[in-house]
Amino acid sequence: MMEWTSDQKLLHKTVADFAQKELLPLASHIDETETWNKPAFHKMADLGLLGITVSEEFGGIALGATEATLVMETLGTVCASTTLSYLAHSILTVNNLFLNASQAQKEKYLPSLISGKWIGAMAMTEPGAGSDALGMTTRAVKKGNTYYLTGSKTYITNGTEADVLVVYARTGDSKKDISTFIVEKSFPGFKVSKKLKKMGMRGSPTAELSFDQCEVPAENLVGKENDSVAHMMNNLNCERVTISGISLGLAQACLNYSTRYASERSQFGTPLNQFQMIQERLAEMATQLSAGKALVYSAAKAFDRGERSMSLGAQCKLFTAKMATQAGLEAIQILGGYGYMREYPVERFMRDAKLMEIGAGTNEVMRLIIARELYK
């Protein structure tokens, strides 16, 4: 089991209390209505969570991947949708800019993102380039002191709400000629073309974005032109470690609800938790969850020590995504007909968990990454 420091224990308690008070009452509602718990975001800012990995200079609280993952797990146990939006803001946008932006860019954008005044998103996936991220066709052409971005992005978490977006675009003819741009929603040529309806994570807004000769000032280029592949992959690695925390949270929620239900419900005059088949399912869920926690927090600690193997995040994400989806299915089975009803939360847990096998790289891509590392 993890050895938590006193500060980490305090963080967990603070976030758990927040989740129970601010996320739980609306978790079912935002799923049903496909809306967003925006007030919770502003309250996360008050706790310092929106800049969890950022130095105090810009308003952050200077913690690491381990603490970020702990927050993802704790929030994810209550509302995975809100947690996914939190990840897109705090890791894919804020952490990305903190690691890769210039001092001037950090001073301009990070304080407002960390205070919750602005909402962030990261735009990489395209209609024709999902798993093959380097196959993107959105292109940026520089004319004078302005870059003109043309193309579209899809499946963008927070896309409908974002004030600031980290956007990847092609700036050369080589497959690796990718550059990063900071795009504000007010820039001419940018628009949200469609809000997307989803099977799960319905309380996390997802959009398709359009760039029609979108005008981006040259000073909003992050780093050097054609030099973004390395930091894009490093950010994906961090995302895969931390997003695994959401899978842990979902699996924990499934186990908690199933265990409680099995102790309260009886069949044939006997509590469900006395049936061997039910015990077997609960025991498997608990064992897989413990294994997932050991793997994820070991990887998070390694990431904080500076280890950057791509298989680090891939193994976490592959194992925990499969585990969370299976936990959702097991929970539904334990509840039987009630598990299939939307009145009970376990069907939502399962729908939310399925995204973990797709977003931030599919299970199939995770296996490819792990295999390539083995070949090395």
Token pair 């927090």: residue? 297
Choosing from 239, 330, 347, 357, the catalytic residue is 239
Three-state DSSP class for residue 37 = coil
Give the DSSP letter string of 287-355.
HHHHHHHHHHHHHHHHHHTT---HHHHHHHHHHHHHHHHHHHHHHHHHHTHHHHSTTSTHHHHHHHHHH
CB 271: neighbour CB atoms within 10 A? 13
Crossing angle of helices 346-355 and 80-87, in 10° steps, is: 30
Active site residue 239: yes
Amino acid code (one letter) for 287: T
- Bridge-based pairing of strands 190-195 and 270-271 is unpaired
Phi, psi at 197, each rounded to 5°: -95, 135
Q: Cα separation of 210 and 196, whole Å?
A: 14
Query: In sequence order, what are the residues at sequence separation of 6 or more whose Cβ sits closer than 8 angstroms to the Cβ of residue 147?
Result: 140, 141, 181, 215, 216, 217, 218, 220, 221
Are the CB atoms for 183 and 164 separated by under 8 Å?
Answer: yes
What's the start-to-end Cα distance of the chain, in Å? 31
Query: In sequence order, what are the residues at sequence separation of 6 or more whose Cβ sits closer than 8 angstroms to the Cβ of residue 358?
Result: none
Catalytic residues: 239
